[in-house]
Structure 1
């Protein structure tokens, strides 16, 4: 820590060499260094242009890219490529659904519609839907761009209460 400390005036009633802490050298501190590196990587220069796909490739892959990311890529804006943010995640597992049968597939479809409806009602995002031998699993995310709110955890809980009724 001593190499990041900026010494202030000497302490009069302390042993020699003790100083008041005037601050921390933010150029040596971890978080600003990471933040600086992220900002450096998002500058509109040749390095950034190389990672942005061409229009034809973007057209082929657009159904696999979230709409909010696609919007930024199409506009040439790469400011959020290195973005770090806090999000709220919900895992929901529903057992006893066998999607290999007609009835199970119908139940899974009804579950999907109901779960999506409650998630989207609170401006969340259905990130994944998986099927395994134990049933179906949903992964919901609240707080992804462009639907970011300060109350995303509260929205996620409200969505869960609605999902219980599905």
Structure 2
């Protein structure tokens, strides 16, 4: 069960922080990335989606961002990335999110261009 609790919350529990302080409101930066592509072959679609997901993780991790959700639609896929979660707060996180977005845009353009 402990594997489902975020590390920052576990540290607070281990330090015996009162549970009232485990809940908090904090500003975060959210980045929505929508990949609009149409592929008929499900195998290539799955492979492209896996490649894009790993590439995005590699880009946003150094900026302390995380992919929070992935929404799959009939015409593409939307990723919800969050910067500034508890334990990984950086100053100027919106700048980090924009830098990540530009890197992801360039990388995804190359990947999707190869399958087009």
TM-score greater than 0.5 by the shorter chain: yes
Computing the radius of gyration from Cα coordinates, the structure with the larger value is 1
> Which of structure 1's runs of 4+ aligned residues deviate more than 6 A?
none
Residue in 2 that maps onto 1:67: 7
Alignment RMSD, CA only?
2.3
Name the one with the larger helix percent: 2
Q: Deviations over 1:59-112 (max 9, x none)?
A: 4xx34x433334434554336422111110000110125597110000000000
Gaps of 5+ in 1: 1-57
The 3 A distance-change label for structure 1 pair 138 and 131 is same
Given the two structures, how large is their TM-score scaled by the length of structure 1?
0.56
Gaps of 5+ in 2: 108-116
Which structure is higher in RCO with an 8 Å CA cutoff and minimum separation 6?
Answer: 2
- Number of aligned residue pairs: give it: 106
Matches within 5 A, 1:65-104: 65-73=5-13, 75-77=15-17, 78=19, 80-96=21-37, 98=39, 101-104=42-45
